[in-house]
Amino acid sequence: MIVEPSPAYREAPTPVRADLAGADGLREGDPARAAAIIVGLAHAAEVPLRLPLGREAVERLSGAYRRGLAEVERWAGIARSADFPGLAPSARPV
């Protein structure tokens, strides 16, 4: 069963599709190298929770984390004001 997208969202993926089509054959990522990294990590004593593979992935994820952290820091005062007043900070490990 194929469901047509609503008119409000029909054009939303258009820029993404255009970007992907324009990058076809121009990607810098090497699938064999990525696979070797993944296999190596499967046998490692320590593994990362997340591992963006490739320069673009590292840059995009790093940027997203920086923007997210900046947003948290921007609203930290208001967010912290949701706690009961006068209580000591939690002793639980973060």
Contacts of 81 (CB under 8 A, 6+ apart): none
Q: Are 60 and 52 in contact (CB under 8 A)?
A: yes
Most confident of the ranges 16-20, 26-30, 76-80: 76-80
The yes-or-no verdict on residue 23 having pLDDT over 80 is: no
Q: Is 43 helix (H, G, I), strand (E, B) or coil?
A: coil
The string of pLDDT tens digits covering residues 4-21 is 878 888 888 888 888 888
Which has more pLDDT, 45 or 24?
A: 45
- Total residue count of the chain as it appears in this document: 94
